[in-house]
Amino acid sequence: MSLLNASFHLNLQTDLKFGYEVVQQELSDKIKATGKKKVFVCTDKGLISSGVVEKITQVLEDASIEYAVYAEIEPNPSAHSVMEGMKSFQLEGADLIIALGGGSSMDFAKALAVAVTHPGHVLEYSLGGKPIEDKLPLLFAIPTTVGTGSEVTIASVITDSDGGRKLVLGSPYLVPKVVFVDPALTLGLPRKHVAATGADALVHAIESYVSLPANPFTDALALQAIRMLWTYLPQTYAHADNLEARGQVHLASTLAGMSFSLGGLGIVHSLSHPMSARYGVPHGLANAVILPKVIAYNLPASTEKYATIARMIDPSLHSVSMQQAGKTLIPLVEELMYSIDIPQNFAHLDHHFTDEDIAQLAEDAMNDHGTVHYNPRKAVKEDIEAIYKKVLPVNIDEKIYH
């Protein structure tokens, strides 16, 4: 990119610690150094059942740190659940939040931090609404999945259940101040979860690389994340005990999170958010299914960057034209997704999508202001509808129109 007329802002505030067993080694000291009196752990019941929560609380107990565990977080957390969580936080008298889990825990914890310090309803502070002020409780993050990157981003995605849509809270103040990226905490993940969240990280990296606000810093982060994920995601999916692969994927997810937090995302996320909000499709899976179709749509506007990715993956593509190399990225992505058993479309959903359904999804996508405006190729509603029709079952025979 030319720097003659470029400008960008980097705000890197996170104290990030990476390593196997780093939580056991350093979490308690970090908490004690803050001078805070009570920790509020935001997590989910699945992590309690798996024993992950106990690993964290044992560290706290051994260090005589007072804590409370809030495990009512569900996938795609709703604004209603955040407001309920606020009551528990206030009742406990906590002053430090730990987000423990995947993207849902991170989104919930960030939104909770806003709710407990700002008057009114949390959705009043979504993008386009009231500003988020610098008065949030101290926020730590411990990701236990391999894909969201939310531990280092400025965003919290919350479902407006009443409106059937997802809204984004965005502010530099939402970036957790201390992050522990500990691959040991991801070793019990089910294979399907590894696939969906790992694919999610790849989408973050690719989208941020081609986004309009991308800059040399985000490009470097994104390309390194893509390189690591392409090599190690299939390995960690096939061999859960491959510690090197798991660590590489976990760190790549964080790099991708840094990239999109600084550089933005695009219409893969614009289209996937309504699929999660209205039809309960896991976010990572929705992103993974939609990605190849969006690459095809964006190709005229981002040929050089897509070609750069493709040539990094397959150096033999340096011998073909930039247009051909960029176009080849589509089957390369499809092949990778196939290797981790990501479906090509949404034909598995128990729903036959009408024109009205697709029009509503497209309207929701066009209103996803935190993503749609950063896409490298400007999209109108009809473009979005056309992409949806390539991945949704649109008639009684569940055929997918290509």
358-399 confidence digits (pLDDT tens): 999 999 999 998 899 999 999 999 999 999 999 998 754 444
Task: State residue 187's pLDDT score.
Answer: 85
Confidence of residue 240 (pLDDT cuts 50, 70, 90): confident
pLDDT, tens digit, 9 for 90 and up, residues 68-83: 999 999 888 999 999 9
Task: State residue 396's pLDDT score.
Answer: 40
Task: State residue 12's pLDDT score.
Answer: 63
Q: How far apart are CA 335 and CA 340, in angstroms?
A: 9
184 and 21 Cβ atoms separated by less than 8 Å: yes
* Higher per-residue pLDDT: 188 or 363: 363
Task: State residue 344's pLDDT score.
Answer: 94
191-391 — its CATH code?
1.20.1090.10
Q: What is the DSSP letter of 78?
A: B
Q: How far apart are CA 119 and CA 104, in angstroms?
A: 23
Which structure tokens are listed for 26?
């350093």
33: pLDDT strictly greater than 60: yes
57: pLDDT strictly greater than 70: yes
Predicted structure pTM score: 0.86
What string of DSSP letters covers 210-245? HSTT--HHHHHHHHHHHHHHHHHHHHHHH-TT-HHH
Q: Considering only 11-15, 47-51, 246-250, 341-345, which range has the smallest mean pLDDT? A: 11-15
Q: What percent of the chain has pLDDT over 70?
A: 95
6: pLDDT strictly greater than 70: no
200: pLDDT strictly greater than 90: yes
Give every CB contact of residue 296 below 8 A, 6+ residues apart in sequence.
Answer: 330
Starting at the edge strand that comes first in sequence, how are the strands of the sheet with 38-42 ordered? 15-18, 178-181, 138-143, 96-101, 38-42, 66-70
- Nearest alpha-carbon partner for 393 in 348, 361, 347: 347
Which structure tokens are listed for 241?
């005990």
Cα radius of gyration (the chain): 20
Q: How far is CA 129 from CA 86, 303, 328, in A?
A: 20, 35, 41
Task: State residue 402's pLDDT score.
Answer: 41
Strand blocks (E) in 165-297: 165-170, 178-181
CA angle, 39 then 45 then 50, to 5°: 100
Give the mean pLDDT of the chain: 91
pLDDT, tens digit, 9 for 90 and up, residues 80-108: 999 999 999 999 999 999 999 988 999 99
- Mean pLDDT for the stretch of residues 167-188: 90
Q: How far apart are CA 140 and CA 144, in angstroms?
A: 13
Q: How far apart are CA 23 and CA 181, in angstroms?
A: 8
What single letter denotes the amino acid at residue 393?
P
Task: State residue 399's pLDDT score.
Answer: 46
Give the sign of the dihedral formed by CA 282, CA 284, CA 286, CA 288.
negative
- Mean pLDDT for the stretch of residues 180-208: 92
Ordered by start, the domain boundaries in the chain are 15-186, 191-391
**Which residues does residue 143 pair with via DSSP β-bridges, in sequence order?**
101
**Which residues does residue 101 pair with via DSSP β-bridges, in sequence order?**
143
Give the sign of the dihedral formed by CA 227, CA 107, CA 295, CA 299.
negative
3: pLDDT strictly greater than 90: no
What would be the CATH architecture of the domain defined by 15-186? 3-Layer(aba) Sandwich (3.40)
243 and 333 Cβ atoms separated by less than 8 Å: no
- Nearest alpha-carbon partner for 191 in 247, 241, 251, 253: 241
